[in-house]
Structure 1
Amino acid sequence: MTKTVLVTGGNRGIGLEIVRGFAKQGYKVLLGCRREEDGEDVKKDIVGKDIQVVELDLSNTASVKEHMNRAMAVYGNIDVLVNNAGIMEDGAWEELDPAAIAQSMQVHVNGPFALIQQVLPGMLENNFGRIVNVSSGYGAFSENMQGPLAYAVSKAALNALTLNLANQIDSDKNVKINAMCPGWVHTRMGGSSAPRTPEKGAETAIWLGQLDDDGPSGQFFRDKKRLDW
């Protein structure tokens, strides 16, 4: 039976390559993006695949829940969720408006959590699910939290959310939740100096979304290798 994957921020960069990767593997792909027309534009280039656009603005939790309820009513349960959407607020702490931290937390933590709350019950009931949170080494204490404050702190919170939820899922359930760092990727967010392609940045997310039943959960990865938190 064809599995359904939802990829947030799926209309460009790493997210678009995650969409392409799952589509090539024969998944039904729900391409989540803030504006439906943006998703429809990029979808045209992926010929012959089952890709549907779902409007999801993670900056508004109520809107996320409304649109996800509508999408699940049409397409059914989600088997794989990739929380990829992100924003980069790179202001120095001296100048940083607290509202920027709140916005980063909303997009990187609150929005993903709202989606997880909606898809996880179905995963547990079906005894299958894969949740992939696209995080960053900037959010790892093991890498000294050296990134821009709002981005690093919100990604650290996403890592914490990943581990806490994984600890709460019964080990006999075939549901895995992991976080990953795509590395420094040449995208609009990563900038033109970044050495990695979006395709390379997407590889670990696609791998985590297709883990075998005995695969890991509650872990943090880069290039399919486990990292310390």
Structure 2
Amino acid sequence: MKSIFITGSADGLGLLAAKELVKQGHWVTLHARNEIRSKEAMQLVPGAAGVLAADLSDMQATKRLAAEVNNLGAFDTIIHNAGVYKASAQQILNVNTIAPYILSCLVPARRLIYLSSSSHLSGDATLKGLKSVPPMVTYSDSKLHDLILAKAMAGKLSNVYANAIDPGWVPTKMGGADAPDDLDKGFQTQVWLAASDDPKALVTGKYFNHQRQAKYRTESDDVEIQEQFLSICEKICGVAFQKS
């Protein structure tokens, strides 16, 4: 049995992954934006171990969440699933980029899973928007950031499996009812990487789509870009990454 924490698990792919992992017998802690959503999440995943509430668009709330997660004990897996799409540039930055960075810095786990997207292929690998004052990033930029973060964690953390995922364009609230991809396949890769002992899942620094390694922006492999990304995130949120 694995202990697993999933951000943004009150609906969408995070909720579906949580349900499947609970069904498999794992100890799953949910996360929701606020207390109302937390209660709804527990009703939807009755076998969950618990739920934590935090608005990831608020950096201070994300830091408090990290402390609350650590207070629960060690986790085997963290799925950085939370994300926003139709939102302001500030919300996209805080939720999609800075929140997973903060949690990666402050909450250790053996398996780290980051939800990216095929849209990362059109993200800005120069990090120009992230460097601007104030930072201005698009959704595509943020999904490239998630891949860069996964690659950085894979390179810096020993005995850790850190990977990024493209779940596909699936019919969730974010993806819309007309999204063409398979909803079941949209969350099964997260489940697989979170808990499976399949040797194909026990890898690090990879980018997956439907349990297969997929095409990605190779700039994310550049250690200099990774270091720039970590340094900029530290300046934005005041949390430094410390190599374990």
TM-score range normalised by the length of the shorter chain: 0.7 to 0.9
Bigger shift: residues 180-189 or 209-218: 209-218
CA-CA distance at 1:56 after TM superposition: 2.2
CA-CA distance at 1:213 after TM superposition: 8.1
Instruction: State the Cα RMSD in Å.
Output: 2.2
CA-CA distance at 1:67 after TM superposition: 2.6
> Residue 51 of structure 2 aligns to a residue in which SS?
strand
Mapped partners of 2:4, 2:77: distance in 1: 4
State the partner residue of 2:171: 186
Does residue 1:13 correspond to 2:12, yes or no? yes
State the partner residue of 2:131: none
State the partner residue of 1:135: 116
Report how many aligned residue pairs link the two structures: 202
CA-CA distance at 1:42 after TM superposition: 3.2
8 A Cα contact 2:31 2:52, kept in partner: yes
Give 1:8-47 correspondences, 5 Å limit. 8-47=7-46
Q: CA 1:45 to 1:63, structure 2 compared with 1: closer, same or farther past 3 Å?
A: closer
Does residue 1:103 correspond to 2:91, yes or no? yes
Q: 5+ unaligned residues in a row in structure 1: which ranges?
A: 91-99, 124-128, 143-148
State the partner residue of 2:219: none
Mapped partners of 1:188, 1:213: distance in 2: 31
Give 1:117-132 correspondences, 5 Å limit. 117-120=105-108, 123=109, 129-132=110-113
Equivalent of residue 61 in structure 1, options 39, 59, 62: 59
CA-CA distance at 1:162 after TM superposition: 1.0
Q: Deviations over 1:63-117 (max 9, x none)?
A: 11213312422x2112110011111138xxxxxxxxx333212211110011111
Mapped partners of 1:36, 1:135: distance in 2: 27
TM-score scaled by length of structure 2? 0.76
CA-CA distance at 1:140 after TM superposition: 2.6
8 A Cα contact 1:36 1:53, kept in partner: no
State the partner residue of 2:134: none
Identical columns (%): 29
Equivalent of residue 168 in structure 1, options 156, 177, 194: 156
Q: Deviations over 1:131-184 (max 9, x none)?
A: 110110000369xxxxxx7111111111111112211123xx2x1000001101
Mapped partners of 1:102, 1:201: distance in 2: 27
Mapped partners of 1:216, 1:208: distance in 2: 9
CA-CA distance at 1:50 after TM superposition: 3.4
TM-score scaled by length of structure 1? 0.81
Q: CA 1:42 to 1:169, structure 2 compared with 1: closer, same or farther past 3 Å?
A: closer
Q: 5+ unaligned residues in a row in structure 2: which ranges?
A: 124-136, 217-244
| Letter of the 1:164 counterpart | A
